[in-house]
A = this chain, B = another copy of it.
């Protein structure tokens, strides 16, 4: 298999894009990524998206966006893996280039959620859970995370305020991200006072409904070098799955798929968790942040929350996370999130992260989660010297 690198990145601001339908929003990010790579046209396009059918009555996004972006004729498809759809699209692009089917492929993610009433979006999002055992019984994603968070607090003796650091860190890092949905800092007091959504999950534990699109151009590392393009290697790429329904897991507080996919991606990259300079993880809820850190070897079981309390996750900390605001504050347009994570990791590794730049970072990890841990896709990215 061939060595694969990211040579172009593009992203729209995350927010409410009432004026732009899916294909315009999606095309914008793709054209930015191609311009960044100084390339005109990919050979294939994979679009990560979860909700376009339910919320916009639009499927066939691969062909639709390929046409509108000006690539009519190329191979294209939509890839769906709930909130991990973005990283799943990148996996397909990686496979196509690593395997030698294509030399230049675009992986993108796009989601429009804000045009529909919030209750409709909440219902649509339950499609990431088990419809029969969870969705039909009214278990929304906030409710599922509330169950997990309550159990976590009980099991390890934390208070809900002990998770505040995750949200505070994300919002602090979003301040200097021009594409962030909530570019403003929040205080511990604000977190403590935040409106309760599904006890113990408050407004500030949760990511918000959002629109957005992001894209990356991938090619072989050899081609990138030959063309003199600033490249970030995909050193590791791995997907793992778990039971979709929470009650089917032996231990709901352990994200087995996160561990397996991180293990595979790290092994492929030939590095350990201790070599990771920063981690763009899937902080859709503060509890997911804690569980993701624990499953991915950055903290012992029950120790994830402690990283927040000790501020080990800040830009100056031992393992910086959500360096551009994360799902919480950059925003979480679900099918696009996995690509935003990779775009931001690429910015860090290229030294283009502005005020949030991590000094001397060399290896970053991204982790995109679909459902309450049902599918997890981890990428290890490395600066090409």
Q: Could you tell me which A residues sit within 8 Å of B by CB distance?
A: 1, 21, 50-54, 56-64, 66-67, 71-82, 88, 91-92, 95-96, 98-101, 123-124, 126-132, 135-136, 238-244, 248, 256-257, 260, 370-371, 374-375
Q: Name the one of B74, B76, B244 contacting A64, with C-beta atoms under 8 angstroms.
A: B244
Q: Is the pair A126, B57 in contact by a Cβ cutoff of 8 Å?
A: yes
Contacts of A88 in B (CB 8 A): 77
Contacts of A132 in B (CB 8 A): 21
Copies of this chain per assembly: 2
CA distance A103 to B306 in the complex (A): 42
Q: Is the pair A135, B57 in contact by a Cβ cutoff of 8 Å?
A: yes
Report the minimum CB–CB distance from A229 to chain B (whole Å). Answer: 22
Q: Name the one of B54, B91, B99, B242 contacting A53, with C-beta atoms under 8 angstroms.
A: B54
Contacts of A77 in B (CB 8 A): 79-81, 88, 91-92, 239, 375
Report the minimum CB–CB distance from A227 to chain B (whole Å). Answer: 22
CA distance A370 to B88 in the complex (A): 21
Q: Is the pair A82, B59 in contact by a Cβ cutoff of 8 Å?
A: yes
* Best-buried of A59, A77, A98, A243 by chain B (most CB within 10 Å): A59
CA distance A53 to B72 in the complex (A): 27
Contacts of A241 in B (CB 8 A): 62-63, 66-67, 71-76
CA distance A1 to B101 in the complex (A): 8
Report the minimum CB–CB distance from A74 to chain B (whole Å). Answer: 6
Q: Closest residue to A264 on the B side, CB-wise?
A: B75
Q: Is the pair B131, A1 in contact by a Cβ cutoff of 8 Å?
A: no
Contacts of A79 in B (CB 8 A): 77-80
Q: Is the pair B101, A98 in contact by a Cβ cutoff of 8 Å?
A: yes
CA distance A92 to B238 in the complex (A): 15
Contacts of A60 in B (CB 8 A): 80-82, 127-129, 244, 370-371, 374-375
Contact A80 to B59, CB < 8 A, known contacts A241-B75, A260-B73: yes
Contacts of A98 in B (CB 8 A): 99-101
CA distance A234 to B374 in the complex (A): 32
Contact A95 to B101, CB < 8 A, known contacts A57-B126, A63-B241, A80-B59: yes
What are 5 of the A-B contact pairs (CB < 8 Å)?
A: A59-B127, A60-B374, A63-B244, A67-B248, A72-B241
CA distance A95 to B63 in the complex (A): 19
Q: Closest residue to A239 on the B side, CB-wise?
A: B75
Q: Is the pair A131, B58 in contact by a Cβ cutoff of 8 Å?
A: yes
Q: Is the pair A239, B76 in contact by a Cβ cutoff of 8 Å?
A: yes
Q: Name the one of B1, B123, B257 contacting A73, with C-beta atoms under 8 angstroms.
A: B257
